[in-house]
């Protein structure tokens, strides 16, 4: 395990040149992280400074025990997790109250603890419940929902709710109360953000335009801070972030009341899994570029520890962020120590920015969120999935709409449920082919696709799927059907080259099939059974009791059971289809 602990080998070979590269990367990422941290805290319903705090201690902890420099660099508050946090906390406390803050620390502690426990139990595979279409639908739906949730800040009205069905009627009712100065400020910010992100339209050189795009949110927010302080915008009725104490991150002790823990547990599990998937994808994509590999269970442990640190210093769940990982890809990060540098820079930011934060208008933060998250809405993938598979496309669309209309948790559960159902439906009817011998050869192929020679007394069937509980019952029915149409068959040979597993349900089914075939005067045989499957069958008494043979190949089976037809077919001239 220690050989996989990157910090140790890093320290052994650390040099000034490496430190220089780490410092550069850390500076760039901090400039990106500051506006995101402020904005995502607002999204989560927490004080803006909580986002900054969540970017200090967790980064340090991950840098010390985490296992990927790329993840260390992009670690911190994440848009989707912040929305999920707001959704989880809304039913238990009012945003802004002390109880809300307390519940946020509990939630974050749960997220961290779940990740630690799952990492120790090597349960990382649970993340596989979330298929790509479901995740993509979830991210797009969440991004749209985040954008909608920020409209109230842009208009200067107050509306509650965490789904489209709750927010839209509220917004409509408040349209008369729109605060003009706030709306103007929001409009200018949005325009400025769009402009800065698209300087290439004005003929600005590509690299400069790309940098401007990356740091557009930072520039607009710094500008807004300065203007806010100079013009005292709050005196015009514009809502601002408000007074912030310049301090080190507070050390909070998370509340652990049992009823609260039980209420937040399902949401914490979803947050943990979504955060883990995001981080592990980033880690894997960075590792593969360098021909390295990562250990997902170690990754889970590192993230668990970082979230526990987050619980003690601000209360926002943290993970690696896709938007910041883009930076990590460009800047060829050297070592995990980059996290240490970034944490120190964020600490400086807290101490330096706190006085300015007071006058920062919430509408400007909201504008930066809207522009950022709309980039996450990915309808192209939806179209692509739909073209590739109607069913998976439908699952993706259902997840997106579920999130939008009923909130993040309902949406993701709907998606997971649908993809499991879909999977069961698909795997419950495996492709089965009746086989015949290709003339002039020892090969057996699907009689519907090739001209073949079939034996009257031996029915050959190939199953293109593992045999297990989702399809055990279907197998029974299908074989009965095929035999019903072949009254002369005396032997049935199952070709198992596509069977990677036979579970206990399928073993029962094979026994039942074999027994019932006996009473109908037919003997079951197997052919081309894979090694691991055979090892397992030997642990049951099926091989002794089913009365048939296990043949090395379909040809051997047919040659032994119906030599005349087989030999005749082999000597026919090969057909040229």
User: 3-class DSSP state for residue 192?
Assistant: helix
Helical residues (DSSP H) of 198-318, grouped into ranges: 206-214, 216-231, 258-289, 296-311
Give whichever of 126 and 253 is closer to a second copy, judged by the CB atom. Answer: 126
CB 35 within 8 A of CB 29: no
Give whichever of 204 and 422 is closer to a second copy, judged by the CB atom. Answer: 422
Instruction: Look at the chain and count its residues.
Output: 577
Residue 435 C-beta: closest distance to a second copy, Å = 14
CB 240 within 8 A of CB 233: yes
Give whichever of 245 and 544 is closer to a second copy, judged by the CB atom. Answer: 544
**If 0-12 CB within 10 Å is exposed, 13-18 middle and 19+ buried, where does residue 476 land?**
middle
Residue 458 C-beta: closest distance to a second copy, Å = 16
Residue 113 C-beta: closest distance to a second copy, Å = 20
DSSP 8-state secondary structure symbol assigned to residue 76: E
Give whichever of 22 and 392 is closer to a second copy, judged by the CB atom. Answer: 392
CB 308 within 8 A of CB 113: yes
Give whichever of 83 and 513 is closer to a second copy, judged by the CB atom. Answer: 513
Residue 125 C-beta: closest distance to a second copy, Å = 4
CB 473 within 8 A of CB 513: no
Whole-number Å distance between alpha carbons of 184 and 237? 13
Give whichever of 126 and 194 is closer to a second copy, judged by the CB atom. Answer: 126
Residue 489 C-beta: closest distance to a second copy, Å = 9
Residue 168 C-beta: closest distance to a second copy, Å = 27
Residue 498 C-beta: closest distance to a second copy, Å = 6
Whole-number Å distance between alpha carbons of 507 and 169? 56
Give whichever of 9 and 389 is closer to a second copy, judged by the CB atom. Answer: 389
DSSP lists the bridge partners of residue 248 as: none
DSSP lists the bridge partners of residue 445 as: 436
Give whichever of 129 and 215 is closer to a second copy, judged by the CB atom. Answer: 129
Residue 344 C-beta: closest distance to a second copy, Å = 31
5 contacts: CB under 8 Å, gap ≥ 6: 65, 67
**If 0-12 CB within 10 Å is exposed, 13-18 middle and 19+ buried, where does residue 195 land?**
middle
CA 305 from centre of chain: 20
């Amino acid at each position: 395990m220690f050989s996989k602990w990157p910090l140790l080998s890093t320290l052994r070979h650390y040099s000034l040149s490496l430190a220089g590269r780490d410092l550069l990367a850390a500076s760039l990422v901090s400039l990106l992280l500051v506006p995101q941290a402020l904005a995502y805290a607002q999204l989560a319903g927490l004080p803006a400074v909580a986002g900054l705090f969540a970017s200090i201690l967790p980064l340090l902890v991950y840098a010390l025990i985490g296992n990927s420099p790329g993840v260390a660099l992009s670690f911190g508050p994440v848009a989707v997790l912040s929305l999920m946090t707001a959704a989880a906390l809304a039913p238990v406390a009012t945003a802004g109250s002390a109880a809300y803050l307390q519940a946020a620390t509990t939630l974050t502690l749960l997220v961290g603890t779940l990740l630690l426990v799952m990492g120790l139990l090597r349960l990382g595979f649970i993340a596989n419940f979330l298929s790509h279409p479901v995740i993509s639908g979830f991210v797009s739906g969440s991004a749209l929902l985040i954008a909608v949730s920020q409209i109230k800040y842009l208009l200067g009205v107050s509306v509650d709710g965490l789904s489209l069905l709750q927010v839209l009627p509220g917004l409509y009712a408040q349209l008369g109360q729109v605060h003009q100065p706030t709306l103007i400020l929001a409009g200018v910010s949005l325009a400025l953000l769009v402009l800065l992100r698209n300087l290439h339209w004005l003929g600005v050189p590509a690299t400069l335009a790309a940098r401007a795009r990356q740091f557009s949110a930072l520039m607009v927010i710094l500008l807004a801070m300065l203007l806010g302080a100079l013009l005292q915008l709050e005196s015009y009725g514009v809502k601002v972030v408000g007074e912030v104490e310049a301090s080190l991150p507070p050390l909070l002790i998370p509340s652990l009341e049992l009823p609260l823990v039980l209420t937040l547990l399902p949401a914490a599990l979803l947050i943990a899994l979504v955060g883990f998937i995001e981080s592990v994808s980033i880690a894997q994509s960075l590792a593969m570029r360098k021909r390295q590999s990562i250990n997902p269970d170690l990754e889970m442990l590192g993230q668990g520890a970082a979230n526990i640190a987050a619980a003690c210093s601000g209360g926002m769940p943290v993970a690696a962020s896709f938007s910041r990982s883009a930076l990590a890809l460009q800047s060829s990060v050297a070592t995990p120590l980059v996290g240490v540098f970034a944490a120190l820079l964020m600490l400086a930011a807290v101490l330096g920015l706190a006085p300015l934060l007071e006058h920062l208008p919430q509408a400007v933060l909201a504008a930066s969120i809207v522009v950022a998250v709309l980039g996450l809405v990915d309808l192209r993938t939806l179209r692509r999935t739909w073209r590739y598979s109607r069913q998976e496309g439908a699952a993706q669309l259902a997840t997106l709409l579920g999130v939008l209309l009923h909130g993040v948790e309902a949406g993701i559960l709907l998606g997971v449920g649908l993809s499991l159902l879909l999977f069961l439906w698909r795997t419950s009817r495996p492709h089965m082919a009746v086989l015949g011998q290709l003339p002039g050869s020892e090969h057996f192929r699907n009689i519907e696709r090739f001209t073949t020679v079939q034996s009257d007394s031996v029915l050959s069937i190939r199953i293109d799927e593992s045999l297990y509980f989702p399809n055990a019952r279907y197998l029974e029915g299908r074989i009965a059907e095929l035999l019903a149409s072949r009254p002369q068959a005396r032997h049935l040979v199952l070709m198992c080259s596509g069977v990677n597993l036979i579970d206990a349900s399928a073993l029962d089914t094979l026994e039942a099939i074999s027994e019932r075939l006996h009473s109908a005067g037919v003997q079951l045989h197997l052919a081309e059974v894979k090694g691991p499957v055979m090892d397992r069958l030997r642990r049951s008494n099926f091989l002794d009791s089913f009365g048939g043979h296990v043949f090395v190949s379909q040809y051997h089976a047919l040659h032994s059971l119906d030599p005349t037809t087989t030999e005749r077919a082999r000597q026919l001239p090969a057909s040229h289809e």
